[in-house]
């Protein structure tokens, strides 16, 4: 029987190959879409980002990393106190000097309470050891009767990172309010 006798048109070999290739292409696109839709968003760590930055949110709050600081409201009753006779600028210098000397226990104690609450000291020490803080400089110090803002830049293996420390004065006592990375969203 021929096509003319049955009325059925048979596909030629080229039409069959094209149909199969089209089917394979549609299936590949469907597989790619499914894989992309099932993947979790990838967090890119941002060096030296301790706040929601950084990090990339993520893991740490000490010097950088990606974990945001714990949600600890500032309260002078529980806040980290600046040592008596020490200015906010000297407090920040002491923090970075401790990091340069790899004295992470001292540096940790100088952090604001929210940073300490977000990460224990051994984790902080491990992270900061990886960052390799080599030097620092105080960029600016703005001090009023009730507060202070100290901006400092730390030089690490991964580059330079600027931090903003804020302090609150209650009576004659200074308290560490926060430490952020303004250029990195936190």
pLDDT by residue (tens digit) across 143-158? Answer: 999 999 999 999 998 8
The sign of the CA dihedral 169, 170, 175, 178 is: negative
Residue 134: pLDDT band by 50, 70, 90 thresholds? very high
* Average of per-residue pLDDT values in the chain: 80
Please, how many CA atoms are within 13 Å of residue 14, restricted to the half-sphere of its CB? 0
pLDDT by residue (tens digit) across 84-127? Answer: 999 999 999 999 999 999 999 999 999 999 999 999 999 999 99
Spatial contact of 120 and 130, defined as CB atoms under 8 Å apart = no
């Amino acid at each position: 029987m021929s096509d003319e006798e049955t009325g059925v048109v048979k596909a030629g070999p080229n039409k069959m190959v094209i149909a199969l290739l089209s089917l394979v292409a549609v299936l590949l696109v469907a597989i790619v879409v499914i894989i992309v839709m099932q993947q979790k968003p990838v967090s890119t760590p941002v060096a030296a980002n301790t706040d929601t930055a950084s990090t990339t949110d993520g893991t740490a709050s000490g010097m950088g990393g990606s974990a945001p600081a714990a949600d600890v409201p500032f309260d002078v009753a529980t806040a980290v106190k600046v040592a008596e006779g020490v200015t906010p600028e000297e407090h920040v210098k002491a923090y970075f000097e401790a990091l340069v000397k790899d004295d992470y226990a001292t540096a940790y104690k100088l952090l604001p309470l929210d940073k300490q609450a977000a990460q224990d000291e051994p984790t902080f020490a491990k992270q900061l050891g990886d960052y390799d803080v080599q030097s620092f400089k105080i960029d600016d110090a703005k001090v009023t009767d009730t507060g202070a803002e100290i901006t400092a830049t730390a030089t690490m293996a991964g580059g330079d990172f600027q931090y903003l420390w804020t302090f609150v004065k209650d009576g004659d006592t200074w308290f560490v309010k926060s430490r952020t990375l303004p250029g990195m969203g936190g």
